[in-house]
Homo-oligomer: A and B are copies of this chain.
Amino acid sequence: MGLVVQKYGGSSVADAEGIKRVAKRIVDAKKNGHQVVVVVSAMGDTTDELIDLAEQVSPIPAGREFDMLLTAGERISMALLAMAIKNLGHEAQSFTGSQAGVITDSVHNKARIIDVTPGRIRTALDEGNIAIVAGFQGVSQDKKDITTLGRGGSDTTAVALAAALDAEVCEIYTDVDGVFTADPRVVKKARKIDWISFEDMLELASSGSKVLLHRCVEYARRYNIPIHVRSSFSGLQGTWVSNEPRGDRKVEQAIISGVAHDTSEAKITVVGVPDKPGEAAAIFRTIADAEINIDMVVQNVSAASTGLTDISFTLPKTEGRKAIDALEKQKGAIGFESLRYDDQIGKISLVGAGMKTNPGVTASFFEALSDAGVNIELISTSEIRISVVTRADDVNEAVRAVHTAFGLDSESAEAVVYGGTGR
């Protein structure tokens, strides 16, 4: 039996009962002969409470001190978890991100892991301990300051440790049973996915699926660490994310992995842009200089009569204000007529490696949307994904229609047929 890394989120360790339940599960893995490294998040609402305190003393908390504050959350949960395990008669030691050798850059509140040097974890394991590691945190390489990894950082900690320790698997325990073919809150008939490739998981994550973050999956793919996403409340198998289905499991890659949706984006349309070389570049240089990540981009066909065109792009709603301000400042230099801002949009994405060899998929996708009466505003595609932007109000209906059309419904008999027929 090899080494496993297990990660437990805040909802799994929300109170003393949760911590004791998780401790038992960890001890079971140890009893099964595994070396066990556990990455743990802060308990339940701890992080929110700390953020609230910070806002009470300072409207814009400083990055370094904010990280120092937030990392107290994992310190509490990991120490309690180690105590609970020892109370079950097994040896456990907890380690901060710094002690576990999680080395990051110096960008406070969203640091990136540069290196992992888990010498103390190795020693603890060799001495028969279960090692408990604080998720979400590290120490900066240059200044030796405490840093945090940003949203979903604990998953990244787990995968990075799994890679550094050459683990057999990184188990991500959460409050759902795994990755689903669509958000079960929207699609009642959504099915749990048994296995999904890194590539499809990356597309789902960047299209709005919340279960795993893009950064964590990217890290796992780079170091080829299988991820097993599963519930901490049951013993069921969850979803395996890896390069290939595991040898002992008969899982065929589905043509379509799932349908993701995202209503966190807004659309900006730059109206009346002179249709000449360099105009688009000037617009997106302005956006990039403001450190804003954009998602989809569409340029309309120029109207021959005016020589003007429109350029639309989508971006997180949270960045909307900043983008508008940056563009307005450059209005004269870029030379556009006006800006339109629309935050009532939604994005629906169909993801599956099977698309590459099934040319009918795109057509079936648009037919399903059309049959559901959903109007399409923007389209963007990759090799294994099609995304469309619609009105926000249409998103749920669109997701359900597409999920049914592609035979993803759990008890559905009416899968569409697609293949080399061009349909």
Which single member of B56, B57, B73, B83 contacts A57 (CB below 8 Å)?
B83
A76 within 8 A of B: yes
A98: nearest residue on chain B (CB-CB)? B98
A20 within 8 A of B: yes
Judging by beta carbons under 8 Å apart, are B66 and A71 in contact?
no
Judging by beta carbons under 8 Å apart, are A87 and B58 in contact?
yes
Report the bound CA distance from A83 to B94 in whole Å. 28
Report the bound CA distance from A93 to B59 in whole Å. 17
Judging by beta carbons under 8 Å apart, are B94 and A80 in contact?
no
A99 within 8 A of B: yes
SS class, residues of chain A in contact with chain B: helix
Chain B residues lying within 8 Å of A65, measured Cβ to Cβ, are 79-80, 82-83, 86, 92-94
A360 CB → nearest B CB, Å: 56
Interface of A with B (CB < 8 Å)?
16, 19-20, 23, 50, 53-54, 56-59, 61-62, 64-66, 68-69, 71-73, 75-76, 78-84, 86-87, 92-94, 99, 120, 144
Judging by beta carbons under 8 Å apart, are B75 and A71 in contact?
yes
Query: What are 11 A-B contacts defined by CB distance under 8 Å?
Result: A16-B56, A54-B79, A58-B84, A58-B87, A59-B87, A62-B83, A65-B79, A65-B94, A66-B83, A68-B94, A69-B76
Which single member of B69, B81, B94 contacts A79 (CB below 8 Å)?
B69
> Contacts A75-B75, A144-B99; is A54 near B83 (CB within 8 Å)?
yes
> Contacts A99-B144, A144-B99; is A79 near B83 (CB within 8 Å)?
no
A295 CB → nearest B CB, Å: 33
Judging by beta carbons under 8 Å apart, are B58 and A68 in contact?
no
Best-surrounded residue of A16, A20, A144 (most CB of chain B within 10 A): A16
> Contacts A65-B79, A65-B94, A66-B79; is A57 near B84 (CB within 8 Å)?
yes
A146: nearest residue on chain B (CB-CB)? B96
A139: nearest residue on chain B (CB-CB)? B99
Report the bound CA distance from A76 to B74 in whole Å. 12
Judging by beta carbons under 8 Å apart, are A19 and B86 in contact?
no
Chain B residues lying within 8 Å of A86, measured Cβ to Cβ, are 58, 62, 65
Best-surrounded residue of A57, A59, A75 (most CB of chain B within 10 A): A57
Which single member of B23, B64, B73 contacts A93 (CB below 8 Å)?
B64
Chain B residues lying within 8 Å of A76, measured Cβ to Cβ, are 50, 53, 69, 72
Chain B residues lying within 8 Å of A20, measured Cβ to Cβ, are 57
